[in-house]
A and B are shown apart, each in its own frame.
Chain A
Amino acid sequence: MTTNNAEELLSAYSPEDVLGYAKPVKTSLIIKGKLSRGIVEEISRAKKEPGWMLRLRLRALELFEKLPTPNWVIGLEELDLEELAYYVRPDVKEPAVTYEDLPPEIRDYYDKLGIPEMEAKLLSGITFQFESETVYHKAKETLEKKGVIMLPMEEAVIKYPDLVKQYFSKIYPIADHKFAALHYALWSGGAFVYIPKGVKVTEPIEAFFLIGQSLEGQFEHSLIIADENSYLHFIEGCSAPMLKRYSFHDGAVELYAHGGSAIKFTTIQNWSKNVVNFNNKRGIAEENARIDWIEGGLGSRITYTYPSSILKGANSSSSSIVIQMSKGPYVKDSGSKMYHLAPNTRSKIINKSISVDGGVNIYRGLVKINKGAVKARSHVECQSLILDDHSYAYTYPHNQVEEPSAIITHEATTGRIGEEQLFYLRQRSLTEQEATSLIAIGFIEDVMKDMPFEYVNILRKVIEIEFSKVGGLG
């Protein structure tokens, strides 16, 4: 990141401050109206996709209509699907391969987020989605040389139908819940990555998703397949400018880690405060494979995210580290899920939440150890920090153990900043806000080491800024 961009980003109060008010961007197609077969067919037609995908969409639509709204969903009173545009195609014919080819309005967002610098310094590939379509997509030569396939999802559907068919919706099932079904009926955009056997991609690949307008649905689908003994770090970033009304994000991520491979998947969620966010993520790990989820959730009005791993092969392992911050009248409902299906599988869940100014954090986690998952191990740690008396944190951990030789350990703590801690730090000359931010950063310090350095800096700054009233610390 250049100093200018970094400073602008860091001194901002929220994504709204970086990106400003939503600006009109030329579109070439908008699909909206009452959700129906016709709408789904229209999306499929617009994408010129094969028949099997249309059939999958229509099956998903039927399921959406049948499935009840999950009883854990709260705060969706305002959501009216009929108001939403399900598909918005920006006026870009094909994904740009050079950044100069992007329409200036989109390029402006892209610049403000500091993405070109990050791309140059940090990444081996990037895909940038605006509204419903990928507008910029670039894989560095090193990726191609290694045989890595990295494509916008719809291009992969057309170019590699057999590979896609084998995995698409097989990891995150269509019928998982009502909004998963909705996602599959309407999906558009997202990234497809295939890493060949033995290939280690050392620089991360990033996908960035931006919602540009109110009353819009974004339903991107990312599918990552790591073949045997390969490695990939994938970073997902989400943001939106200031929207007059709400928008709806209902994306999905599917990971498949073949034998001995490892996938690290990092999400930095910084939607603006008007976005209702469903983030459906699941991965399957074969023998000796590893899946690491990391998620930092800063923005959105309400977020539902439950990174899940299915430990299918013996000796496979997974960790999920989720940090959620709810400041103001916002809700984060999250929780990692680990399914142990095989012997010697290991999982670790760390969930940390900070609630302040009326914010609410909810943890709903699950560790399921099947019979036969001999000597499976799981460790769950939930820590909540509540910074005032009108903010809340709730923890609902759930364990199902059918294997007697398995061991689950669980720690949960809910802390409030003590008067004594505040007075102590004030006696050391810090203001109450500086003291609070020091303790809040300290609270998540130990898990931030797993995040890319650039993001840690942003995260630290956002927290410091969130706790100072106007214009940064000091």
Chain B
Amino acid sequence: MLEIENLAVEVEGKTILENINLRVNKGELHAIMGPNGSGKSTLAYAIAGKGGYVIRNGKILLDGEDLTRLEPEERALKGIFLGFQEPPPLPGVKLSTLIVAALNKRRGVKDLTKLSSMRDYKAILEGLEKVGLSKSYALREANVGFSGGEKKRAEILQAMLLDPKIVILDEPDSGLDVEGVAKIAEIIGELRGEGKGLLVITHYARIFKHIKPDKVSILVNGKIVAKGGGELAYKVDDEGYKSFS
């Protein structure tokens, strides 16, 4: 369970988020919706511990443990996964090498880049098929020359394989066609079914046509201005954010 209490976040001396209170339970899909510049990605980065995102107030708790002062890699090992809105290209680093390194790190294997079990490789290949990427992507350089949609598929693939407790997805459907969005939604549903907590950050409710969120929080100008059930997502879709500001 992820709990965010009274969080205030500053970037370059400017307050971006204030008084954020959220809770993502196990097996629950929580949507954060808001217009551009409302601080959605800042929230994702602050939870993951990105440098420069200064937590001025409040706490981030995972299963009761305070993560607020931990390094990004420590938070990741505790079970926080962030699917990036724009994952950076990693020239020379194969997608499979990246995943193998992350898996080995979690198991305490010293040689990070060495495949420790053929099962891992098999899981990567099956995962690729599932997210709609061809097997050859295992040997492609991660995020290099990937289209927007391919990047999103590779991010959700990692969410599946790294077995985190909390999956934060920042705009998981941008750049995807209808079929792709449906696929991502299906995988989100499965992750929820496995008991993971999901925090899905999005501007549009497009993905929620395929999967209904359990909770919705509306973020405008760095503050949560409304909270509700899944229906709230469809209301935003019909009316936009005007009524909340």
Contact = CB atoms under 8 A, between A and B. Distances in A.
A453 interface: no
A419 B82 CA distance: 16
Contacts of A473: 110-112
Interface in B33-54: 48, 50-51
A453 B118 CA distance: 22
Contacts of A156: none
24 contacts: A415-B91, A419-B51, A423-B50, A423-B51, A424-B88, A425-B90, A425-B98, A427-B81, A429-B102, A429-B105, A429-B106, A429-B162, A430-B73, A434-B101, A434-B112, A438-B90, A439-B90, A439-B93, A442-B90, A442-B93, A472-B110, A473-B110, A473-B112, A474-B112
Interface residues of A, number: 26
Interface string B46-67: 0010110000000000000000
A473 B112 CA distance: 8
A441 B84 contact: no
Contacts of A425: 90, 98
A415 B90 CA distance: 12
B92 A429 contact: no
Interface in B90-147: 90-94, 97-98, 101-102, 105-106, 108-113, 141
Interface residues of B, number: 33
Given A443-B91, A473-B112, A474-B110, A428 B101 contact: yes
Interface in A416-448: 418-421, 423-431, 434, 438-439, 441-446
B92 A430 contact: no
A426 B113 contact: no
Contacts of B94: 442
A418 B109 CA distance: 26
B148 interface: no
Contact of B141 (A423, A431, A442): A442
Contact of B88 (A418, A434, A441, A445): A418
B77 interface: yes
B72 interface: yes
B62 to A, nearest CB: 14
B150 to A, nearest CB: 16
B237 interface: no
Contacts of A419: 51
Contact of A438 (B71, B88, B112, B158): B112
Given A429-B73, A430-B105, A438 B93 contact: yes
B93 to A, nearest CB: 4
Given A423-B51, A446-B92, 7 more contacts: A427-B72, A427-B82, A428-B105, A429-B102, A430-B101, A442-B93, A442-B141
A438 B76 CA distance: 18
A426 B112 contact: no
A444 B91 CA distance: 10
Contacts of A431: 73
Contact of A441 (B76, B77, B113, B141): B113
Nearest to B110: A474
- Among A415, A428, A429, A474, find the residue whose CB has the most chain B CB atoms closer than 10 A: A429
Contacts of B92: 439, 441-446
A438 B101 CA distance: 9
A473 B141 CA distance: 23
Contacts of B51: 419, 423
Nearest to B105: A429
A428 B110 contact: no
Interface of B: 48, 50-51, 71-73, 76-77, 81-82, 84, 87-88, 90-94, 97-98, 101-102, 105-106, 108-113, 141, 158, 162
Contacts of A427: 48, 72-73, 76, 81-82, 84
A262 B131 CA distance: 47
Given A428-B102, A473-B110, A421 B77 contact: no
A204 B90 CA distance: 35
- Among A421, A439, A446, find the residue whose CB has the most chain B CB atoms closer than 10 A: A421
- Among B72, B84, B106, find the residue whose CB has the most chain A CB atoms closer than 10 A: B72
Contacts of A442: 90-94, 97, 141
Given A473-B110, A473-B112, A426 B90 contact: no
Contacts of B91: 415, 439, 442-443
B50 A428 contact: no
Nearest to A429: B76
B60 to A, nearest CB: 14
A387 to B, nearest CB: 14
Contacts of A439: 90-93
A247 B93 CA distance: 38
Nearest to A426: B72
A417 to B, nearest CB: 10
Contacts of A426: 71-73, 76
Contacts of A444: 92
Nearest to B88: A420
Nearest to B71: A426
Contacts of A424: 84, 87-88, 90
Contact of B113 (A418, A428, A438, A472): A438
Contacts of B158: 428
A427 B162 CA distance: 11
A472 B112 CA distance: 12
A439 B51 CA distance: 19
A99 B51 CA distance: 56
A446 B92 CA distance: 7
A428 B93 contact: no
A109 B245 CA distance: 75
- Among A419, A420, A424, A444, find the residue whose CB has the most chain B CB atoms closer than 10 A: A424
A444 B158 CA distance: 25
Given A424-B87, A424-B88, A439-B92, A430 B102 contact: yes
Nearest to A442: B92
Interface string A276-314: 000000000000000000000000000000000000000
B112 A428 contact: no
B235 to A, nearest CB: 32
A362 B84 CA distance: 36
A76 B77 CA distance: 48
Closest 10 CB pairs of A and B: A442-B92, A429-B76, A426-B72, A442-B93, A420-B88, A428-B102, A474-B110, A426-B73, A429-B105, A421-B88
